[in-house]
Amino acid sequence: MNNEIIEEAYGSIFEAALIEEIASVAKLVEFKEGEVLIDIGKYIKTMPLLINGAIKIMREDFDEGELLLYFIEKGDTCAMTLACCMGDKKSEIRAVAETDGLVAMIPVHYMESWLGKYQTWRAFVFMSYDNRFNEMLAAIDNIAFMNMDKRLYHYLLETGKINSSQTINKTHQEIAYELNSSRVVVSRLLKALENEGKIKLNRNNIELLKVEE
Return the pLDDT at 112: 80
Return the pLDDT at 17: 93
Contact partners, residue 10, CB within 8 Å, separation at least 6:
19, 22, 49, 75
Contact partners, residue 14, CB within 8 Å, separation at least 6:
22, 118, 120, 121, 124
The runs of H, that is alpha helices, within the chain are 2-10, 16-25, 79-87, 108-117, 119-145, 148-163, 172-178, 183-195
Return the pLDDT at 203: 84
Nearest to 102, CA basis, from 11, 197, 33:
33
Report the DSSP pairing between strands 55-60 and 94-97: antiparallel
pTM for the complete prediction?
A: 0.69
The CATH number for 2-143, chosen from 2.60.120.10, 3.40.190.10, 2.70.98.40, 2.40.110.20, is: 2.60.120.10
**DSSP helix/strand/coil, 157:** helix
Query: What is the tally of helices (H) and strands (E) in the chain?
Result: 8, 10
- Residues 18 and 117: their CA atoms lie apart, in Å, by 9
Return the pLDDT at 22: 93
Chunked into runs of 10 residues, the chain (213 residues) has average pLDDT values of: 85 92 93 91 86 88 70 84 72 89 90 89 89 78 73 92 91 88 87 92 88 54
Q: Which CATH topology does 146-208 take? A: Arc Repressor Mutant, subunit A (1.10.10)
Count how many Cα atoms sit within 13 Å of the Cα of residue 146 in the half-sphere of its side chain.
16
Give the start-to-end residue ranges of the domains of the chain: 2-143, 146-208
